[in-house]
Structures are given as C-alpha cells and as structure tokens.
Amino acid sequence: MMRKPLCLVLFFAAALPWLSLANDGGVLDFTADELRRILQHGPWPQAWSHDPSNRVSGKRDAIDFGEQLFFENRLSGSGKLACGSCHVPERDWSDGLARGEGMQTVDRNTPNLVNVRYHRWYGWDGAADSLWSQSIRPILNEKELASDPKRVAELVRTDAELACHYTRTFGQPPAAVKDDEALLVDIGKALAAFQETIVAARTTFDEFRDALARGDRAAAARYSIPAQRGLKIFVGKGNCATCHTGPRFTNGEFHATGVSFFAGKGRVDPGRYEGIRELKSSQFNLLGPYNDDPARSTAVATQHVDLVQRNFGEFKVPSLRNAALTGPYMHNGQIGTLREVVGYYSEINVDRLHADGEQLLKPLKLTAQETDDLIVFVESLTDFRTNWKRSKGGEPTCK
C-alpha cells in the first residue's frame, strides 16, 4: 500500500525529458508533480458499468422508454411540464436560469445532467443516492412537477404508447402492477436508463492530457499556451484540484464555500444537512425495498454517510466538464459567468466561511492574466459541439 507502483516510477522516468524542456512555444515546462496531478484528470470517458440497483440500466428498451418519459408533460400535476422543461438538451441539459422554474420557482440552480451516470450523490444536497431515486424527486416535489404516484401510474397504465414501452422494458403490462408507488419507481428507473446515456464528449484538454501520458509532444503542443498556464494554476496555486478532482473534475462530495444559503426572506437552505436527513428517511434509498441488487453493492455510501453539524450550508461540488455551457453558477445561481466565479475565489471573503469550515479557502489574488488563463483552461473542459437530437423526432415508437 505504501509503495509507489513501479509503473508510476517508470512513467516519471519516461517523463523526465519533459521536465527539462523550457517553454518552446508549444508545451510549458511542467514539473513531475504537476504532470502527476494533470494525469489524474483522465482518461475520458471513464469506464462505466450498468447500475446494479436498477434492473433495466443499460437496456435499449428502457433507454427508449426513458427518453419518451423525459419529455412527457403528462407526468406533471399540471400536464404542462416535463423533465425536459428544465433539463433542456440545447442548454446542456440545464435551463440557463439562476433558479429553476417548475410549478414554482425553486431555491436552487438546475443542475445539468451530463455525466450523471457517474454520480454518487444527486442534487445539490445529495438527498438521493441513485439516478432512479433522483428521477422520482422532481416528479413528486410540489415546486417542480407536483405530481403523485397515482397520477403517474394511471397515466402509464392507460396510455397505449407508454404502456407498450413499459411492457417491453419490464416484461409485463403496467396494468399488472397494482402498487402505484412500485410503478412510479419503475418510471424512475426507465428515466435513469435514458439519462445514463448523456455523457460529455472528449475535449481539447483530454487530447492534451492523453498526449502527455503517451509522451506525444507534437500533439500536446496543439493545446493553447493560455490553457496550459490556466491548468498550472488549477493544479497549483489555485488549489482548485483539491475539490475538483479526477476525470470529472469533482470529488462528488459537499463543501461550504461561503456562498449564501439564504433562500429567501426568512428562509435558509440547509443544503447537505437536510439532504442527509431526507436520504436516510426515504423509502427510495439504496437500503430500501426498491433496490434491485440483493447484495446492495452500491449502497456503501448510504450505509456510512454521517450527519454532522458542519453539513449545514454545504452543497455538492459541481463537475467542471462542460462548465462553459452551464451558467449561472453555484447552488443558487447567484453568479452569472465563469469570470465572476473565478473572481469570487480570487477575492473570497473568508469571514463568510463557517468557523469550523474548510481551511483551504483563501483569496487567490489572481492577476488579470491569471484570471484569463484559468477561464481559458475551464473552457477547454467543454465540448461545444453538443448537438443532441431526440430519436425518431419524438414520434411514437412502440406498437
């Protein structure tokens, strides 16, 4: 456990020529430590296997059914809203608003859905521990779709197209499922199967990272110098990579970074604190009866998550992949642009941090060029070619 693997040593030996090269106009002079940190942000895409808690995860029929449901307005209490009303494909599966607009304005920014299949926790507060249970939350939430299990179940039982999809996906007609809640969970699982297919494409950063890994200097030199300088800040003085770790640029956990948790007049958003309480009391969590995996192999986090006072006002660290497309930023959408986000951390007011909070955060005091470089780097984590289209134009597909 305590020895560096031989392959790592060999890698750094192979990388030594890089270390001795000053900037020749193509590739900056990265230290061995910087190289090691950079390589930890890949490769991309990450390996993935089907979700064992969802028996239809990865199945073609479930993906088709999930896509149909995702844009189905009749799932909502009003009949006018669908998942896709806020998670808009053309807006990188978010809505471009500071706070989501469902049946009412919600307290939080609409998270984008790119790469959700890799998440450990869902929502800014992590109140759901699986993609299928998260898919149920907005359906029932009175500020979002404001529906209920009976309405959803009746719709799927009585609509020929949806009933056909259900039968193909789950192997029995929905009319055979008498329990409305069980049917709602199946709808969540089909929705999850569809959302699992939403994965960010490779970016110019990924090409650079992989070129470094294989020692391909010519390919690495295609990555712009400002982006490389921004990357140095990201893994160095910016300390960004302490929370925005790994290939997804998030540790998937929760931190308080001084962003206001006042949700409105006289109201606060407790963030992770309430998220854990909701998780533990939910019949839809991975320890509950709807987990399709008898071994509970993905329930380790749920079994061990610990509620402590410092969770109050903590929110999930967002992934930075496609970040250039996902503004406004922060859990409440209070920051409009990437430049303002960088400015926030550059001048962060430590007096706003919890007394028992993270001691890592200090004003970065970035220069104008450093700010520009960091923004160029974060933009390089974005695939701007996203052009998702509904399969078969959204026409009925099940007979």
Partner 1 sequence: MRTEWLAVLAAGALAAPAYGCVPDLPGAARTLKAGRYSVAYRAVPDKLPVSQHFSLLIAVCANPGAPPLETVTVDAQMPEHRHGMNYKASIKRESASRYRADGLMFHMPGRWEIIFELRAAGRTDRVTQSEVIE
Give residues in contact with partner 1 (CB under 8 A).
1-2, 4-5, 36, 40, 241-243, 245-246, 251-254, 300-301, 303-306, 308, 310, 356-360
Contact 346, 257 (CB under 8 A): no
The SS3 of residue 262 is: strand
Q: Is 154 exposed, middle or buried (0-12, 13-18, 19+ CB in 10 A)?
A: middle
Rounded least distance, CB 217 to partner 1, Å: 25
User: Is 298 or 397 the residue whose CB approaches partner 1 more closely?
Assistant: 298
Q: How far is Cα 282 from Cα 128, in angstroms, rounded to an integer? A: 9
Q: How far is Cα 225 from Cα 266, in angstroms, rounded to an integer? A: 48
Q: How far is Cα 130 from Cα 299, in angstroms, rounded to an integer? A: 9
Rounded least distance, CB 271 to partner 1, Å: 13
Among residues 170, 146, 121, the alpha carbon closest in space to that of 282 is found at 121
- Strand 267-268 vs strand 262-264: parallel, antiparallel, or unpaired? antiparallel
- Encoded amino acid at 306, one letter: D
- For residue 274, the tally of other CB atoms under 10 A from its CB is 16
Rounded least distance, CB 303 to partner 1, Å: 6
Rounded least distance, CB 159 to partner 1, Å: 41
Contact 321, 382 (CB under 8 A): yes
Rounded least distance, CB 1 to partner 1, Å: 4
User: Is 40 or 367 the residue whose CB approaches partner 1 more closely?
Assistant: 40
User: Is 36 or 99 the residue whose CB approaches partner 1 more closely?
Assistant: 36
Q: How far is Cα 69 from Cα 63, in angstroms, rounded to an integer? A: 10
User: Is 148 or 278 the residue whose CB approaches partner 1 more closely?
Assistant: 278
User: Is 266 or 294 the residue whose CB approaches partner 1 more closely?
Assistant: 294
- For residue 238, the tally of other CB atoms under 10 A from its CB is 21
Work out the end-to-end distance of the chain between its first and last CA atoms, rounded to an integer number of angstroms: 56
User: Is 149 or 247 the residue whose CB approaches partner 1 more closely?
Assistant: 247
User: Is 355 or 368 the residue whose CB approaches partner 1 more closely?
Assistant: 355
Among residues 192, 97, 90, the alpha carbon closest in space to that of 137 is found at 192
Rounded least distance, CB 304 to partner 1, Å: 3
Rounded least distance, CB 99 to partner 1, Å: 26
